[in-house]
Amino acid sequence: MASSFVSLVFSTNAVVSLKAVLVQVVYICIYYFTVSSSIFGDPRIVWKRAFLMYGGSFLPVMFFAMAMQATLGFDRAGSNRSAFPFFTDHTMYSAALTFVLLAFIFQMIAAFGAKPVNGRRISFVLLSVICALALFLGYCRAAWLAFGAIVLIGSLLWLRSWKVVAVALIAAGTLALMLFGRAGASLPNASANGAGIKEMFLSMANTHTDPSNMERLDRWHGALLMAMERPFTGFGPGTFQFSYRSALNNGPSNTLSTGGPMNPDYITRDWSVGNSVMVRSNPQVLFKNGGTAHSEYLLALSEMGFPGAMAFTLLVVATIYSGIRLMRKKSNARGIEAMALAALTAYAIHGVFNNFLDDAKVAFLFWGCVSIIGSAQRKATDC
């Protein structure tokens, strides 16, 4: 927060930055400090119930998205707005779904270790399978990569064999070389009509003709140029969409490129049940908006400079490290602490390619995981 306030003082757009900082302060104060203060009881128990309640309320949204895909088609194009108006696009929906899926998986693991046997086992098995299917149909490559990494890491830790680790790393390296060694122009385009699982997977390495990858690299380049221009304070929280195109000097563009937020006359209503009844908090969406950096780390770098980016990265790394230390205690290996560690690690990986911490639906889950690990670490220190 200190980095945000410093950046706010030197912001290129004080009004935008003030709003962005206030939103983040509210998220952190409510989701982290308030719950961690033990006002509502043991924070870990409170967050366990909160995650299950979130998961329960997420299920109707998930079934709605899958029903929409049944009408639009179970391909990349059909997934794009399937969760709208609850989530603006499939990437944010998939990020939240990854948290929910991991929460259900660890509840399933806990149920198998509990006695006596009851219906919780089969319930969480079914919920985990359905959520995994929904994540698969979400067609979000970053979410697939993050969840796959967690499954791989968890499997290796469970097997506890360096030989298996070595074989897995060699196999992963070989696959990466085969994938990225192909000519970019020969790889499929994830945005093409009818793009399916195979096309989505192979398109990860297509930086020549895939508009999503090209625009992501374009925005990363813009973020780096912004950081070089203002390395110590950044351009100010929330200002990326207003500044990155000028940082690129209106350079090369592709089908997804924008010139920044446009005139209000271009505002259009995306979805409505009538002329005046809108079902979402922000019903009017710019026909073309400036978008974001598609990376939590580069967004922090461009908006808050190197100090802010380092502070955010250290927060994530330190929390994950604390979570790993907590896993030395066997009782934590199947508990809420393990779920928080897995979910936070998954989002740390996902955050390389997307950023959603300005949205309450994802910020709640992220800061919840940080709060769980922080509370557990303090309790372990006190003991």
pLDDT digits (tens, 9 = 90+) for 25-76: 999 988 888 777 767 777 788 888 899 999 999 999 999 999 998 888 777 7
Give the Cα separation of 285 and 267 in Å (integer): 6
Residues near 261 by beta carbon (within 8 Å), at least 6 away in sequence: 241, 242, 286, 288, 289, 290
272 vs 177 pLDDT, higher one: 177
- What value does the mean pLDDT take over residues 79-105? 90
Determine the residue type at 59. Answer: L
Name the pLDDT band for 330 (thresholds 50, 70, 90).
low
Does position 288 have pLDDT exceeding 60, yes or no? Answer: no
SS (H, E, C) 208-233: CCCHHHHHHHHHHHHHHHHHHHCCCC
Q: At 142, which helix (H) or strand (E)?
A: helix 141-159
220 vs 208 pLDDT, higher one: 220
36 vs 81 pLDDT, higher one: 81
Whole-prediction pTM: 0.86
Does position 285 have pLDDT exceeding 50, yes or no? Answer: no
pLDDT in the model for residue 278: 43
Whether 93 and 358 have beta carbons less than 8 Å apart is answered as no
| % of the chain at pLDDT higher than 70 | 75
Whether 223 and 302 have beta carbons less than 8 Å apart is answered as yes
Does position 333 have pLDDT exceeding 70, yes or no? Answer: no
Name the pLDDT band for 342 (thresholds 50, 70, 90).
very high
- What value does the mean pLDDT take over residues 214-233? 90
Whether 378 and 326 have beta carbons less than 8 Å apart is answered as no
Name the pLDDT band for 157 (thresholds 50, 70, 90).
confident
Chain centroid to CA 70? 25
For the purposes of burial, counting CB atoms within 10 Å of the CB of 360, is it exposed (0-12), middle (13-18) or buried (19 or more)? middle
Lowest mean pLDDT among 58-72, 135-149, 200-214, 282-296: 282-296
Give the Cα separation of 6 and 232 in Å (integer): 10
What integer best gives the mean pLDDT of the chain?
Answer: 80
Give the Cα separation of 275 and 286 in Å (integer): 18
Strand-pair partners of 360: none
pLDDT in the model for residue 117: 62
Q: Which residue has the tokens 């979000």?
A: 140
